[in-house]
Amino acid sequence: MPREKIKFALRIMPETQQLVKDIYSLDNCQNQSEFIEKAIHFYAGYVASKNGTEFLAPVLVSALQGTVANAENHIARLIFKLAVETNMMMNVLASEVDVSPDALERLRGRCIQEVKKTGGAVTFADAMKYQHSE
């Protein structure tokens, strides 16, 4: 059984009323009141929610998800290419340099500390300076 609706005075700007008149049928509303009621529910949900994404247009959410996914794929491909190049460099160096396992472990520890300290901003010039200062 449908609930009875109440009637009350609503004061809005003439431009707002014209907007409602122009657009209510685009939302498949039977009348302006239905449109305004739906708008109030939508806005109340938006204000009450901590996560406003459920009120974003689905097309916008989809576009944002697609952009993020493309960026993730691009970054993953770049990291893979970087890992291949690093592996090639390590193999070339390992074939030409004789380093003891103990020295290699000490170097690994030093490199971990340097990367942590610099936030990953390590240059070849810094490594050359360190290697030739000992």
Structure confidence by residue, pLDDT tens digits, 9-62: 999 999 999 999 999 999 999 999 999 999 998 888 777 776 666 666 777 778
d(CA 40, CA 37): 5
pLDDT at 3: 82
How many Å apart are CA 4 and CA 20, to the nearest integer?
Answer: 23
- C-alpha dihedral, 38 to 43 to 46 to 48, nearest 10°: -100
Q: What is the pLDDT of residues 102-130, one digit of tens each?
A: 988 998 999 999 989 988 888 888 888 88
Report the predicted TM-score, pTM, of the whole model to 2 decimal places.
0.45
Write down the domain spans for the chain.
14-55, 58-97, 99-134
Q: Are 24 and 35 in contact (CB under 8 A)?
A: yes
The DSSP H or E segment spanning 100 is none
